[in-house]
Amino acid sequence: MTRLRRRLVAGLIVAVLSVQIGFAVNGYRDPHKFFAFQPFNESSTWQADIVRVTWNGERVPISGGWAGYEWDELVGMAALRGPGRLRHAYMGVGATVDFLDDALDWVATHTPNDHETRYFEATVMTFENTRGPTMTLLRSIERTVP
Amino acid sequence: MSGVESHTIAGPAPALERRSPLDAALDWSGSVRAVAVLRIAIGPITLLHLRPFLRDALDGISYDDQFWEPFIPWLPHVPDRMWFAMLWIGAAAAVLMAVGLWTRVATVTTVVVVAANLLLSQTHFRHNRAFLAIVLGGIALLPAGRVLSIDAVLRRRRGRPTLPDVAALWPLWLLRAQVCLVYLASGISKLVDPDWFGGLVLWDRVVRYQHVLEPTPLPGWGVDLLTERWMYYAVGPAAVLTELFIGVGLWFGRTRLAAVWVAIVFHALIEISASVEVFSYAAIATLAIWVTPSTRDRIVRVGGDAATSRAVMAFVRAGDWFGRFAVVRAGASEPLVTVVDRDGTAHTRFAAVSLLLSRLPLTFPVVAPARALASRHRRNARAMVAA
């Protein structure tokens, strides 16, 4: 191996391992722990009451669907399905609540047949490794006037 | 040794000048046969990983039909058809990688597809998928198609000289370090978390899934025991220390076999107790990277009558995926199995069979610990006699 190639290879190895260690350290800050390899980190649980707040101020639970939409079909990912029952937050409470917050925005902007809803609101109850409950209120962005 | 079986010995290139350990590591060369075995195993594992995405693609469901969130918001939106095509190309590439046809291109394509799909949306992220991408990346950096591949067969048929299975192994160093970082990152995060190290997380999870345990053949007292809080004051630290032991023990010759065995049991238990997609399979397959990268450096001499020796030779050749043994026919009057170790020591009878079986991947999980226990028992007996 030439000196130049050896330096390039050494640089590549150091760079790759540094990035991986960087992600591992970042996992202590990032609720999602992306690429941090910290699996099964919590036994936490969560449950959310999600409602649609309509333009006339009604608060309508999303269970049972609305305007041809179903929450579970819209969110897809298993971690956010069935929010009405207490479930294991297998990604961790922080990641679950963060995803739920973003999912509310996504649902608000990807349901064109819904002409009633002004915004979505989720009252989230979490138990972090048996401790709790902690209540969090999440609200989607406001939809445009139909 | 048989004249038809080549062998490779791992080790750094001869030193012409005084070199740093880093230089020695970068010049390290050896057989890529174990990586070829890993390549063959990772192909179907990649297909298993892609299966749910392919199922959605068949149903016409794209990643952006459901909640998704890009890792990098300013990257252009991948059109649905391109995503579908990418998945099928990835699946085809995984098959080609496994069989070893256009191996390098197929492996690079597979890693690109798996990584692109992973990075497409934050909702696609799973630790096991990132681990799979790392392993595929490591395989792509190595010439893993030189052996156990259609490429190698085609090369022979075309009359072209066979490529040696020896190659520069610096990518193997990198892959080994990355895999160990996975175990250490996971273990350290649990070590510093009092809820994990104190067993609370594991205990709470078992209690919450008690309804899964109850219909199993476990007796009632067994289920009660598994849900006792006090037990997890020991189980929590044991689980954490197991991960740390694997991450460190794999590096040292004296602890490597034990760490590999512990890792197999560890991943089997995870597979039974949790839903981790392809992680258990990928992690167990990836233990192949810890096989000493040399082939045919031990000799199995097979004696006895012709029919028995043929059967034994066929058994060894079929089970010796990593090519650890050069198998030769000995005279009919010689013992059925004699194993000549790397240092020239000849083992016969039980010692030979146990050494042989402890180095074959399928019999390793049972025979290696039994051999270690027997060896320990013999040492203790000798010590008592000496005393």
Structure tokens at B53: 């995405």
Backbone angles phi, psi at B141, to 5 degrees: -80, -10
- For residue A37, count other CB atoms closer than 10 A to its CB: 24
Q: Are residues A79 and A8 in the same domain?
A: no
Q: Assess contact for A80 and A100: CB atoms under 8 A.
A: yes
CB contact under 8 A, B185 and A27: yes
Residue B272 CA to residue B153 CA, distance in Å, equals 39
CB contact under 8 A, B26 and A88: no
Q: Assess contact for A3 and B23: CB atoms under 8 A.
A: no
Kindly provide the residue ranges of all beta strands, DSSP E only, lying in A11-74, ordered along the sequence: 45-54, 59-61
Q: Assess contact for B283 and B293: CB atoms under 8 A.
A: no
Please name the amino acid found at residue B96. Answer: L
Q: Looking at CA atoms only, how far is residue B137 from chain A in angstroms?
A: 11
- Tell me what pLDDT residue B1 has: 36
Residue B354 CA to residue B364 CA, distance in Å, equals 10
Asked which of A76-85, A87-96, B212-221 is least confident by mean pLDDT, the reply is: B212-221
Q: How confident is the model at residue B374 (pLDDT cuts 50, 70, 90)?
A: confident
The average confidence (pLDDT) of chain B is 90
pLDDT digits (tens, 9 = 90+) for B318-344: 999 999 999 999 888 888 999 999 888
Task: Assess whether pLDDT exceeds 80 at residue B312.
Answer: yes
- Tell me what pLDDT residue B83 has: 95
Residue B237 CA to residue B140 CA, distance in Å, equals 36
Q: Are residues A85 and A23 in the same domain?
A: no
Which contiguous run of DSSP H or E holds residue B366?
helix B364-386
User: Pick from A109, A98, A111: which is nearest to A142 by CA?
Assistant: A109
- Tell me what pLDDT residue A108 has: 95
Q: Looking at CA atoms only, how far is residue A55 from chain B in angstroms?
A: 24
Q: Are residues A96 and A129 in the same domain?
A: yes
Q: End-to-end alpha-carbon separation of chain B, Å?
A: 42
From the candidate CATH numbers 1.10.10, 3.30.1120, 3.40.30, 3.30.1490, the one assigned to the domain spanning B298-386: 3.40.30
b/e per residue B39-56 (b: at least 16 CB within 10 A): bbbbbebbbebbeebbeb
**Cβ neighbours of B122 in A, within 8 Å:** 32, 34, 99
Residue A93 CA to residue A81 CA, distance in Å, equals 14
B contact set with A (CB within 8 A) = 22-23, 26-27, 65-69, 71, 122-123, 125, 127-128, 130-131, 168, 170, 173-174, 177-178, 181-182, 185-186, 188-190, 193, 195-196, 200-205, 208, 274, 276, 279
Q: Are residues A104 and A134 in the same domain?
A: yes
Q: Assess contact for A115 and A54: CB atoms under 8 A.
A: no
Sheet containing strand B325-329, strands side by side: B325-329, B298-302, B337-340, B346-348
Q: Say if residue A133 is preceded by a cis peptide, omega within 30 of 0.
A: yes
**Cβ neighbours of B189 in A, within 8 Å:** 24, 27-28, 36-38, 41
Q: Residue B27: which of A1, A16, A129 has the nearest Cβ?
A: A1
CB contact under 8 A, B177 and A13: yes
Q: Looking at CA atoms only, how far is residue A34 from chain B in angstroms?
A: 7
- Tell me what pLDDT residue A145 has: 64
CB contact under 8 A, B195 and A129: yes
Q: Residue B123: which of A35, A36, A77 has the nearest Cβ?
A: A77
- Is residue A23 domain-resident? yes
Q: Are residues A33 and A94 in the same domain?
A: no
The burial of B95, by beta-carbon neighbours within 10 Å (0-12 exposed, 13-18 middle, 19 or more buried), is given as middle
- Tell me what pLDDT residue B274 has: 82
Q: Are residues A29 and A80 in the same domain?
A: no
Residue B337 CA to residue B329 CA, distance in Å, equals 10
pLDDT digits (tens, 9 = 90+) for A98-113: 999 999 999 999 999 9
- Tell me what pLDDT residue B3 has: 38
- The SS3 of residue B81 is helix
How many residues are listed for chain B in this entry?
Answer: 387
Asked which of A60-74, A132-146, B192-206 is least confident by mean pLDDT, the reply is: A132-146
CB contact under 8 A, B173 and A32: no
Q: What is the ipTM of this complex?
A: 0.92
Residue B344 CA to residue B9 CA, distance in Å, equals 14
**Cβ neighbours of B170 in A, within 8 Å:** 9, 13
Q: Are residues A57 and A106 in the same domain?
A: yes
Give the sign of the dihedral formed by CA A120, CA A123, CA A128, CA A129: negative
Listed in order, the ranges of chain B carrying CATH 3.40.30 are: 298-386
Percentage of chain A lying above the pLDDT 90 cut: 86
Q: Residue A88: which of B202, B208, B276 has the nearest Cβ?
A: B208
pLDDT digits (tens, 9 = 90+) for B258-294: 999 999 999 999 998 888 899 999 999 999 999 999 8
- Is residue A88 domain-resident? yes
Q: How confident is the model at residue A11 (pLDDT cuts 50, 70, 90)?
A: very high
Interface of A with B in 87-106 (CB under 8 A): 88, 99, 102-103, 106
Q: By CA distance, what is B167's nearest residue in A?
A: A1
Q: Which long-range contacts (CB under 8 A, 24 or more apart) does B361-368 make?
A: B361/B319, B361/B321, B361/B322, B362/B319, B363/B319, B364/B260, B364/B261, B365/B261, B365/B264, B365/B265, B368/B257, B368/B261
Domain carrying residue A53: 45-139
- Is residue A85 domain-resident? yes
Q: Assess contact for B374 and B354: CB atoms under 8 A.
A: yes
- The total of structural domains in chain A comes to 2
Q: Looking at CA atoms only, how far is residue A105 from chain B in angstroms?
A: 9
User: Pick from B329, B274, B335: which is nearest to B304 by CA?
Assistant: B335
Q: Are residues A87 and A111 in the same domain?
A: yes
Q: By CA distance, what is A5's nearest residue in B?
A: B26
Test mutation, B64, B65, B67, B122, chain A, max A CBs within 10 A: B67
Q: Residue B26: which of A6, A20, A106 has the nearest Cβ?
A: A6
Bridge partner residues of B329 (DSSP): B302
Q: Looking at CA atoms only, how far is residue B384 from chain A in angstroms?
A: 46
- The SS3 of residue B86 is helix
- The SS3 of residue B237 is helix
Q: Assess contact for B100 and B150: CB atoms under 8 A.
A: yes
Interface check for A32 against chain B (CB to CB < 8 A): the answer is yes
CB contact under 8 A, A38 and B123: no
Q: Looking at CA atoms only, how far is residue B106 from chain A in angstroms?
A: 22
- Tell me what pLDDT residue B212 has: 82
Q: Looking at CA atoms only, how far is residue B69 from chain A in angstroms?
A: 8
Residue B239 CA to residue B267 CA, distance in Å, equals 11
